[in-house]
Chain A
């Protein structure tokens, strides 16, 4: 919601509050987009937003207001209904066209949430069968995971079970569940690493998949798994799967238009950029053919270049060319400007190189697959379903959707990579890896630059890290190794602290008979 925040002084404001409702004259213009009734904000010191103001109407300046901010230069008269105290910091609002955190000097146009965002609840409630099962469990003082309860319930429904049978089923299920639990002290980390590493030898190295009709190239197999586990900032083939909003997802034409809008076009794709050193100019010669193929108009190029503010330059148009002349001659600047212009985005979203529309039979709607990824911009686009749109760039997911989403993405991507090649690995192992990688709140790599390098044991790092010298140094400066992990105990030659090594047997002497 677009609205304004203005700076006022304490005395005037107290007066206003005491005289509500009232008319109030303001000496600044109110943008046309803001129509009454609206809620505006007021700050006293420019840094903290102190009051919310409910404006019922804007009256022309001819009306004489009862109170005013400034007696001179009244532009509008506001009919103020209510004033509320709020506690907000200027950092928390989004000024339009300015940086966040800009102090309010007189008036600032801002974008503010209508109301606090809601956290959508993603779990359905329980139906009768499920509730019945929960009852039975409560009586037996046992617990089962939710997925098990739901599965039993749905099957029981199919069989139309009565209460007695349901109890039997639940009883057997509890037994099965307990039989399958994991043992305490189990070395789950090693098992997980082995279970993921062993099928690695069966993953192809070949990254190219027999590219069928209208597909984008995606890295698959072992190289992809290594990318995920190394937390690479950009995958080698970033790609997005874009779902559309309900109103256009079945309309091929509309989807195609959207797809075309996404494909990014740089200046270099539709024009030639030449440097003339003697005259200190950068000439952009527009290529009509390329422009028409990508449906770019001359104006778009012009606008884009104009938006780029370079100091000390003048812009002239000459037919199909645009010439930029430098005031102060500087080779370096000339080169920089020409490079900037070449890469300047004319249309589309930065990072998206290609967008292909595909009809997905299983769900009966169209989807867009892209080569290149820019999650933030795409999610904000009209027509894009921001609930389901997906990218395979895990770092982007972390930056835009948060660490929990990144964790889920790591699990999904690695399972997908393995299953594509026909290898099944239990999710739990990948969950463990994902949880390890996201423990610190961001996404860390598995290797020596990430988790392995942060281990607390000197010996463990020395054995793994190639430059043992490097780590001995840190150790020599006073570090002690508590020998709590696996690698260091092996080096020292004693049983490890996992599995059987975590447990001690105590012999209980038989009681002496008196």
Chain B
């Protein structure tokens, strides 16, 4: 049986230092030559590319494990250093230990009795491998104490001050300490003293921090690259190792041939430099080693650090197989759970299916089709078949046209067929930046023609996707366990509500709202033919009851909408088009604006369906359905109303034009008057200020008061002008429909087009920057008037004057820059929050929240053990729903004023 074997878990990782003996033991070859390849291009023996350390070229075999390029994992080698060298990463620890131990007997410079008090804590933590903060702090204290003793309490020898010349030179009392001497001193430190220094004697002897043998990384860690020109280029690490070996060799030769001390010391320092930069090329105090081209080398630490380093770029996040990415486009007739995949992608991406007696015939058929089945309709084929061959190893057979039939016949139970995608497969769909868990959800596949990913528009908000060229990623799940988890936990319908605020995040947007508005506002009438056309987009059980008007049969919009509501739903609320300003007292279901929504037993009796009902974020109807009913029902409801609204709006038609913002002449005159008055007030304030008689607001200077007043006056004028213009924009106006129903835009936008744009602001104040004492040379210095500081009197329709346009651009630019900077700053904050909180989970008993060390962070999650996703806007219980269910009509009567 091929397939996933029983998986074992790694339970823990232990870190330790390598001793020179261990390095020699694990080495496959002792590297002595600095050269890499010989004239034929073959790796040299005992060179840096020796075949004992692994293979990079296909065709060659590793001499240690006899594996080919893809089998051999690589093996370490070693270099015997002529003289010991300090490991730059441990410089701080070396200094601490030198200061804390005696220079002749090697013991810690504290008396035994003083050390005893620390023993229990240190033993418990360090010997168990848990470096607790307490233990660290303790050993630091011990080291500090010991460093101050100038006489060893055990042997009485005098101690001297140790200084560090960055980065790796130690001096004792001015005299340079050679690594050899330091090593000898460290060898004298007894094991029992080590825990006081913060070292675990089982894993780290201090003398191992001074290198005598250097391990050489395997060849595949630093492979040779063949450039297009045919030349071979060595990896940066190999270059560094070459330098090291060369200097090492020279040092050995000099030592053996008895060269003067100075030369030996020089070479030793050079060796130290090379080894230091081999580990970290960005050591402070050292010039980085560079290529001939001047570019600094990328050595070991550089490979691990930072966003592009090993940890963040290859371990915490990796590139994966079985993924796809392309442009997205809208498809209103897909269910919210589905995603449309292009055929080309479906043929490349495969799912591994094990062959069982129950599916072997079906799979044979699929394999027979080969990788490129012909035909108009898309049918899945298969790309690979995996079987166990005679030797018991896995063998992958590529299916092609010529062997498809053959392979299909040979198919046996226990093999694995990698078949192409077909409708119903489970995939993960994702848009970056993935800021919350809804940025990646599980969809069911629908294979379609054309080359974009398609999905239902209602799912746009959680992905924050729009269709202006956005691309999204797709991942095909490979194992049964993954598919099950995705289908149940990550499906789109499970994420209709957001954990952020306990409300729906998948819902109607834009045209959905407009469409349903048109369907239900003031209950329009439809003929039977129209109704059937509209309902063809939706699943419905039966037609609604018709009404007779003027002897003919008609169907009402609200009844059509009621077809998709659950039959036991009872709700009442005010729609978005109710702006609450017009009426003195609410007349509820008798509302003349049709703004009071009343649903009884699944029938929409009064009110208009708009953003307040089914919009993403704000839809209360959507909210109630997703809370009271299961996710399948909620998903179906969303599918239905999106299709219904698209059906309605396509049938009834909807358009907008500039004439939507036309206002009659008298209104224009009124608007002008208001704006003129505002300008006059402004002039009056400026006048008063210049005469020094302006009354200051408390706590503010006259300048600030002036600015505040002007801004307030102009802003009030804009509002008033907007109100007047809005009075003449009624509900037959498509732009107004969109604004009032919540589909897109607001009355502010409309008033800016029709009446007056208003004051532009940068940093909360009027435009001030520009020339000295004035914004533009068109004005005199010191000019304080409205127009001189960014007041735009025109409307978008009238058109802006050049100066107004300039100021408007200034105001707009601020917004753009804000957005750009914001994304990176908030991204960093999110990263830190995630890192700090990622390990917290809720336990099984009583909703306790714990971290990795079982610390109790919260005694009950959220203090009431409620999942924010399932809450109603943060409240544990939807009281309205509970009371309406328990009391029925009584509840609604009470709300409407108790009759």
Contacts and interface: CB of A to CB of B under 8 A. Distances in A.
A269 to B, nearest CB: 16
A480 B500 contact: no
B117 interface: no
B862 A428 contact: yes
Interface in B846-886: 847, 849, 852-853, 855, 857-858, 861-868, 870-871, 873-874, 876-879, 881-883, 885-886
A158 interface: yes
Contacts of A472: 15, 89
B89 A469 contact: yes
Nearest to B884: A172
Contact of B316 (A457, A476, A482, A490): A490
Nearest to A429: B868
A494 B305 contact: no
B548 interface: no
B11 interface: yes
Contacts of B882: 152, 169, 172-173, 176
A500 interface: yes
B257 interface: no
A431 B865 CA distance: 12
A491 B311 contact: yes
A194 B485 contact: no
Q: Which of B306, B834, B863 has the most CB of A within 10 A?
A: B834
B837 A173 contact: no
B413 interface: no
A176 B855 contact: no
Given A180-B871, A432-B849, A432-B858, A490 B833 contact: no
Nearest to B855: A439
Interface stretch (B166-174, B323-331, B797-805, B818-826): B818-826
Nearest to A357: B698
A168 interface: yes
A179 interface: yes
B698 A182 contact: no
A327 interface: no
B200 to A, nearest CB: 3
Contacts of B761: 210
Interface in B766-819: 814, 818
B305 A466 contact: yes
A357 B315 CA distance: 57
Q: Which of A193, A357, A425, A473 has the most CB of B within 10 A?
A: A193
Contacts of B435: 194, 197-198, 201
Nearest to B826: A200
Interface string B404-423: 00000000000000000000
B829 A177 contact: no
A478 B826 contact: no
Contact of A210 (B711, B818, B833): B711
B870 A180 contact: yes
B10 A492 contact: yes
A354 B698 CA distance: 11
B262 to A, nearest CB: 33
Contact of B858 (A152, A431, A455): A431
A257 interface: no
Nearest to A447: B832
Chain A interface, >50% SS class: helix
A319 interface: no
Interface string B122-139: 000010011101001000
Contacts of B436: 194-195, 197-198
Interface in B686-727: 697-700, 704, 708, 711-712
Contact of A182 (B90, B309, B866): B866
Interface in A135-178: 145, 147-148, 151-152, 155, 158-159, 161, 165, 168-169, 172-173, 176-177
Interface string B494-511: 000011111000000000
Contact of A200 (B90, B708, B829, B867): B829
A478 B837 contact: no
A388 B825 CA distance: 34
B309 A424 contact: no
Nearest to B13: A481
A188 B852 contact: no
Contacts of A185: 841-844
A450 to B, nearest CB: 8
A467 interface: yes
Contact of B489 (A145, A168, A500): A500
B838 A165 contact: no
A401 interface: no
A321 interface: no
Nearest to A213: B697
A214 B700 contact: yes
Contacts of A145: 863-864, 876
Interface size class of B (residues with CB under 8 A): 35 or more
Interface size class of A (residues with CB under 8 A): 35 or more
A473 B868 contact: no
A204 B822 contact: yes
B315 A476 contact: no
Contacts of B200: 477-478
B816 to A, nearest CB: 12
Given A425-B501, A463-B316, A478-B202, A187 B841 contact: yes
B763 interface: yes
Contacts of A196: 830, 833
A30 interface: no
Given A213-B697, A484-B839, A229 B833 contact: yes
B437 interface: yes
Contacts of A155: 879, 883
B894 interface: yes
A450 B708 CA distance: 42
Nearest to A225: B829
Contacts of A487: 316, 835, 838
A468 B502 contact: no
Interface string A420-436: 00001111110111011
B357 interface: no
B11 A483 contact: yes
Contacts of B867: 180-183, 186
Interface in B540-567: none
Contacts of A179: 870
Contact of B857 (A182, A435, A460, A499): A435
Contacts of A28: none
Nearest to B763: A208
Contacts of B878: 176
A203 B711 CA distance: 24
B6 interface: no
27 contacts: A148-B876, A159-B883, A161-B887, A180-B877, A181-B865, A182-B847, A188-B840, A189-B838, A189-B839, A192-B833, A192-B840, A197-B826, A197-B834, A198-B830, A428-B862, A432-B840, A432-B857, A448-B832, A456-B852, A457-B852, A468-B311, A469-B280, A477-B198, A477-B199, A478-B131, A490-B315, A494-B9
Given A463-B312, A479-B131, 12 more contacts: A177-B866, A198-B436, A201-B823, A211-B764, A214-B699, A427-B874, A454-B133, A468-B309, A477-B199, A478-B15, A490-B315, A494-B9
Ranked nearest first, the 9 interchain pairs of A and B with the lowest CB-CB distance are A197-B830, A478-B200, A189-B840, A200-B826, A428-B862, A189-B837, A480-B129, A475-B15, A193-B833
